[in-house]
Structure 1
Amino acid sequence: MKDIKMVVTDMDGTLLNSNHEVSTKFFDLFKHLKKQDIQFVAASGRPYYSIVKKLQTIESDIIIVAENGGLVIKNEQTLLSNVLNPNRVKELYALVTKIDNTYPIFCTKHKAYIYRASEELVKTFSEYYSAYTIVDNLEEITDDIIKIALYHQTNSEAHIFPHVKHLKPKLNVVVSGNHWVDISEAITNKGKALTFLQKELGVKPSETMVFGDFNNDLEMLKCAEYSYAMANAHPDVKAVANFETDTNDNNGVELVLEQLIAESSKH
């Protein structure tokens, strides 16, 4: 572990506990990572502004990979941005607005456009998408769309994924949580974003540590020798990761970071 130069962690189900909070322990450990010149990257399906909200106090010292790799931002400067082809958006809009009991959210850099959801659902969505506008049609969306997030109240893998999986491999279609399926350009995933950062910063996979819990983390776990699945992770994630740590509610990320800091400080 002593050679680690970059730590990358997913947010929901990984760094965040079940109440969507970052532990104070993590912020203490972060100070040590910074002291040891280890770059920290938050990589999430969440939008940029939502990740910033969770990590506000350290925002200027970290890199943020938002929207499953659709956006990479450091110090408010966009290093990478992949938007959905506008012609394709029309077809996708027609498809996703017709799936039963499914609520589409059209994600752009600065806000989300929520399609016809109830007040109760909007409340649920606002945990992730705090900046939003409710829309009734596609014409109301004027910004470039990075990702379409689809929400199902019981199970996204069973009830949404079968309706959209045919879009692969032309598009990246991924089950990103119990309730979520995300659609973005084929070149968009957390792994591509991480490979881009490794090249930019001159960091090898053997110098990279990654944590994840769901299928939108698979590609980035493959980019690191020190890849960790959370104990609460999807079986696919456990199959790909080289190591496992405790659950997100038992500070699984922090447990490994403590080991990393102990190893690094010996050198």
Structure 2
Amino acid sequence: MKDVKMVVTDMDGTLLNSHHEVSSKFFELFKDLKQQNIQFVAASGRPYYSIVEKLQPIKDDIIIVAENGGLVIKNEDLLLSNQLDPNRLLELYTLVTNIEGAYPIFCTQHRAFILRASDELVKTFSEYYSVYTIIDTFEEITDDIIKIALYHTTNSEKHIFPFVKHLKPELNVVVSGNHWVDISEAITNKGNALTFLQNQLNISASETMVFGDYNNDLEMLTCAKYSYAMKNAHPNVKTVANFETESNDNNGVELVLEQLITESRKH
């Protein structure tokens, strides 16, 4: 572990506990990471502004991979941006708005456009998409769309994924949580975003540590020698990761970071 120069972690189900909170312990450990010159990257399906809200105290010292790799931002500088092809948007809009029980959210860099959801659902969505506009028609979407997030109240893998999986491999379609399926450009995934950063910063896979819990983390887990699945992770993630740590509610990320900091200090 002494060679690790970059730590990358997913947010929901990984760094965040079940109440969507970052522990105070993590912020303490972050000071040690910074002291050891280890770059920290938050990589999430969440939008940029939502990740910033969660990591407000350290936002100027980290890199943020948002929208499953659709955006890479450091100190408000846009390093990478992958938008959905504007020529396909109407076709995609028509498809996703006709899936029974699916609630589409059209994600842009600065806000989300939420279609026809109840007040209760909007409240649920606002945990992830705190900056949003409610819309009734396609024409009301005014910005470049980076990702379409589809929400199902019980199980997205069963009730949404079968209706959109035919879009692969032309587009990236991934079950990103129990309730979520995300659609983005084919090149958009956390793994490609991480590879971009490794090249930019001249950091190898053997110098990278990654934590994840769901299928949208699979690609980035393959980019690191120190890849960790959370105890609460999807079975696919446990198959791909080289190691396993405790659950997100038992500070799984923090436990490994403590080991990393101990190792780094020895050298």
Aligned to 2:76: 76
Deviations 1:128-165 (A, max 9, x none): 00000000111000100000000000000000000000
Aligned to 1:106: 106
Aligned to 1:19: 19
Q: Which runs of 5+ in 1 are unaligned?
A: none
1:54 maps to 2:54: yes
Aligned to 1:2: 2
Residues 1-267 of structure 1 aligned to structure 2 (within 5 Å): 1-267=1-267
Structure 1 residue 99, shift from structure 2 partner = 0.3
Corresponding letter in the other structure for 1:178: N
Q: Which runs of 5+ in 2 are unaligned?
A: none
CA distance in 2, matches of 1:52, 1:89: 28
Corresponding letter in the other structure for 1:111: R
Corresponding letter in the other structure for 2:101: N
- Please report the RMSD computed on the Cα atoms of aligned residues, expressed in angstroms: 0.3
Structure 1 residue 114, shift from structure 2 partner = 0.1
Structure 1 residue 184, shift from structure 2 partner = 0.1
Which 4+ residue blocks in structure 1 deviate beyond 2 angstroms? none
Structure 1 residue 224, shift from structure 2 partner = 0.2
CA distance in 2, matches of 1:265, 1:88: 51
Corresponding letter in the other structure for 2:79: L
CA distance in 1, matches of 2:189, 2:137: 27
Corresponding letter in the other structure for 2:119: E
Deviations 1:96-125 (A, max 9, x none): 000001100000000000011000000000
Corresponding letter in the other structure for 1:247: S
Corresponding letter in the other structure for 1:68: N
Structure 1 residue 35, shift from structure 2 partner = 0.2
* Corresponding residue SS for 1:176: strand
Query: TM-score, normalized by length of structure 1?
Result: 1.00
Q: Percent identity?
A: 81
CA distance in 1, matches of 2:88, 2:149: 15
CA distance in 2, matches of 1:57, 1:232: 27
CA distance in 1, matches of 2:207, 2:64: 19
Deviations 1:78-107 (A, max 9, x none): 000000001111110000000001100000
Deviations 1:196-243 (A, max 9, x none): 000000000000000000000000000000000000000000000000
